[in-house]
Chain A
Amino acid sequence: QVQLQQSGPGLVKPSETLSLTCSVSGAAIRTSSFYWGWVRQSPGKGLEWIGSVSHSGTTYYDPSLKSRVTISVDTSNNHFSLRLTSVAAADTAIYFCSRSPSYPYQYIDVWGQGTAVTVSS
């Protein structure tokens, strides 16, 4: 059974970079056909897809965030990461890492526990 465990800071200063990691257990990123991604949820709001990455490093991003987002995989350590640069208050949200079965079936069948990130000085 695949499990996703998130780690990273809960407080980031404006204009700085948000960095989160999602460790995968129960599956090897290196050999799987799954896609690994990130979704966020602003306080009291709905779900917003950020992007996803394949085991080979192919990435897809939401166009509105593309200039600031990098999602990468580390197959050696079996984890994947999110970097969001130049954060502002509007980036305050709960960030979830996620797994989708395969390309192009990008529904999310496994979720991380969520990390609440606040952007504030």
Chain B
Amino acid sequence: EIVMTQSPATLSVSPGERATLSCRASQSVGSKLAWYQQRPGQVPRLLIFGASARATGIPARFSGSGSGTEFTLTISSLQSEDFAVYYCQQYHSWPPITFGQGTRLEIK
């Protein structure tokens, strides 16, 4: 099973600033990495797939990068609606599909 580790657990950033979230895989997942956003009380939403492709309707301020075992989600110029929990997920080697434990992005 591939273990996904996200850091930091909590990230405090001011509105308008940039946020950088990290995800590490215990072994290479190539580019088969997705990112999700989950606002409180809501269903997760797909942001990024294939490590860097934005899903339909996702604003350009969200970008993904990386390959192999190291990945980054960058949110430029944070908006109020961006404060949420973010999860990475690998789909390179499955079953099982595995998620990271999440990074909580909070307002500074």
Encode B42-53 as 1/0 by CB contact (under 8 A) with A: 011110010000
Whether B95 is near chain A, meaning CB under 8 Å from some CB there, is: yes
CB distance from A88 to the nearest CB of B (A): 20
Q: Within the complex, which residue of B43, B49, B95, B102 is in contact with A113, where a contact is CB–CB below 8 Å?
A: B43
Interface size bracket, B side: 20 to 34
Q: Which residue on B lies nearest to A62, using beta carbons?
A: B96
Q: How far is the CB of A16 from chain B (nearest CB, A)?
A: 25
Q: Given that A46-B87, A46-B102 are contacting pairs, would A106 and B97 also be in contact in the complex, using a CB cutoff of 8 Å? A: yes
Q: Does B63 contact A (CB under 8 A)?
A: no
For B99, list chain A residues within 8 Å (CB): 46-49
Of A47, A49, A60, A96, most buried by chain B (CB within 10 Å of CB) is A47
- What residues of chain B have their CB less than 8 Å away from a CB belonging to chain A? 1, 32, 34, 36, 43-46, 49, 55, 87, 89, 91, 94-102
Q: Which A residues form the contact surface with B (CB < 8 A)? A: 46-49, 51, 60-64, 96, 100, 104-109, 111-114
Known pairs A107-B46, A111-B44. 5 more at Cβ < 8 A? A46-B87, A47-B87, A61-B95, A96-B43, A107-B91
